[in-house]
Amino acid sequence: MTENILIERPADYVGLIRLNRPKQLNALNQATFDELHAALIEFAADDTVRVVILTGNEKAFAAGSDITEMQDKSAVDMLDYGEHRMQQWDYLRTYPKPLIAAVSGWCLGGGNELAMACDMIVASETAKFGQPEISLAIMPGAGGTQRLARAVGKMLAMEMVLAGRVLSAYEAESYGLVNKVVPLELYLEKAIELGQKVATQAPVATRLAKEAILKAFELALDDGLVFERRSFYTLFSTEDKQEGFSAYLAKRPPTWKGQ
């Protein structure tokens, strides 16, 4: 049983985790993060799930980490609290299956960091993205400065982090922070549709391709190209590669084994 999240299976091979603290605009307290972490581990081990969607509700994806929970914490307290939480963030960073954030309403602070840790973002027209931590005299601590700068560039990242600028959904789309913006009533449906598209591909190829794209943010081009090539060759040893090529040549749809 979970108290702060809901777990759903909206379509074949698609798992969905819904943040569910509507009264607090889905502020991410530790209990929510623990439940989210456990649900992700379960989906990772489940062969009937190939893609995971994270969402909130129409009003908020998540308005940040829970301010009440951090209110009295000192730097030393944060070492424990933060270390535990950082391990969970690191797990997200290396998550083996594609993650899609379906965002509507507030997507702030740790909430925006959570969305950016996903692999794709589908936003409703009402989504608002920001890193307002500076107004609490802190700063992003779960990858916000790094991922935002990589997504939208230095100048805008500076404005968002230092001046608290909040982006509308269409601004976020124009700066490359989100994949697409859709009408409010469609944001979840479209995220699931995108999830289904990804879930119809061969699972091992999907996993290695995701890993290779993420390496682009960590490695020099030479090393990234070597990493890509090795992953590419590895896929030629999978049963699914034989199936993919055979199905193409026989003009029939492939059936993946994930092997």
Question: Which residue, 67 or 158, is less far from ligand DAK as judged by CB?
Answer: 67
The one-letter amino acid code at 87 reads Q
Closest approach, Cβ 150 to ligand DAK, in A, equals: 17
Closest approach, Cβ 151 to ligand DAK, in A, equals: 17
- The vertex-96 CA angle with 101 and 237, nearest 5°, equals 135
C-alpha span between 129 and 56 (Å, rounded): 14
Question: Which residue, 23 or 252, is less far from ligand DAK as judged by CB?
Answer: 23
Closest approach, Cβ 52 to ligand DAK, in A, equals: 21
Q: Cβ distance 7 to 16 under 8 Å?
A: yes
Closest approach, Cβ 144 to ligand DAK, in A, equals: 7
Question: Which residue, 65 or 238, is less far from ligand DAK as judged by CB?
Answer: 65
φ, ψ (nearest 5 deg) of residue 14: -115, 120
Closest approach, Cβ 43 to ligand DAK, in A, equals: 22
**Could you tell me the two tokens for 28?**
């991410």
C-alpha span between 232 and 91 (Å, rounded): 24
Question: Which residue, 125 or 211, is less far from ligand DAK as judged by CB?
Answer: 125
Positions in the binding site for ligand DAK (CB under 6 A): 24-25, 27, 63-68, 81-82, 85-86, 106, 108-110, 132-133, 136, 141-142
Q: Residue written as tokens 């993420």?
A: 214
Question: Which residue, 65 or 206, is less far from ligand DAK as judged by CB?
Answer: 65
The closest alpha carbon to 18, from 45, 56, 44, 65, belongs to 56
